[in-house]
Amino acid sequence: MKNIQPHTLFTILTILALSGCALYPAVQMAGGAMSGYDAVVIADDFLPRGHVAGGARSLNSDKMLERRLRERLRMQGMIVSAHVIDANAYLVGQFPDRAFADTAVDTARTVQGLKTITCKFYPATTARQAGTDAHLLNLLVVRLGETKRLRNADLRVEVIQCNAILIGETADYEQKTAAVAIASEVGGIEDVVDYISVTPKESPAATGDKIARK
């Protein structure tokens, strides 16, 4: 192992990750202290899902998956925000150490129907920082709500340690860009984490045609 070059080690880790191995990235270190834990884990992408003949509706709705995910996290005593968009789970929160973060991810993996689990965890912070985050969150929510361009977007907002985390779905890239730009312009926000997916809305005629072709 002593002779393995950095680029070779990176290649090996990449191959393991792509092969579906439950390999999480190492905790980022800054001055010897945990600065964050960020990972994307494949849950059960190949799990057969219940569906109505013709593909008109999935029985595993996002709301049902989100409720089940939150219940299981609460049962484990995990205080973490959980969102589900198009069967993809997003976990955001603060933990005292890596073990708590791993437990949250492992708990989420027990929810059948989730395609991926994306987490953004930070080390536990102070009450003073929590107050600052609450203030920034309020400012950001108000500004996003006042933007007419975003009224039809499905956005969930979190602020942790002056980092804005945007989760949701927009109809086009203009909405996505606008949301990220607004968050970046809020005074006090130091970084913006973008977990917004773009899903163009289909017209009823187009949807009906797609179902008829199946």
Instruction: Spell 10-33 as b/e; 16+ CB within 10 A means b.
Output: eeeeeeebeeeeeebeebeeeeee
The residue out of 97, 124, 151 marking a domain boundary is 124
Same domain membership, residue 136 and residue 109: no
Residue 199 has what DSSP assignment?
-
Same domain membership, residue 148 and residue 109: no
User: Ramachandran region of residue 39, left (φ > 0), alpha (ψ -120 to 50) or beta?
Assistant: beta
Give CA torsion, residues 102, 108, 114, 115, to 10 deg: 0
Same domain membership, residue 60 and residue 35: yes
Instruction: Pick the closest to residue 66 from 49, 90, 43 (CA basis).
Output: 90
pLDDT at 56: 32
pLDDT tens digit sequence for 75-84: 999 889 999 9
Residue 48 within any structural domain of the chain: yes
Q: How confident is the model at residue 101 (pLDDT cuts 50, 70, 90)?
A: confident
Mean pLDDT of 54-58: 36
Mean pLDDT of 2-26: 43
The residue out of 101, 124, 147 marking a domain boundary is 124
Residue 45 within any structural domain of the chain: yes
* Count of the separate structural domains present in the chain: 2
Same domain membership, residue 42 and residue 118: yes
CATH number at residue 134: 3.30.70
Same domain membership, residue 67 and residue 40: yes
CATH number at residue 38: 1.10.287
pLDDT tens digit sequence for 147-157: 999 988 999 99
What's the domain range around 41? Answer: 27-124
Same domain membership, residue 198 and residue 118: no
Mean pLDDT of 166-192: 95
Same domain membership, residue 136 and residue 75: no
Same domain membership, residue 94 and residue 40: yes
Residue 8 within any structural domain of the chain: no
The residue out of 109, 124, 139 marking a domain boundary is 124
Higher pLDDT, 13 or 79: 79
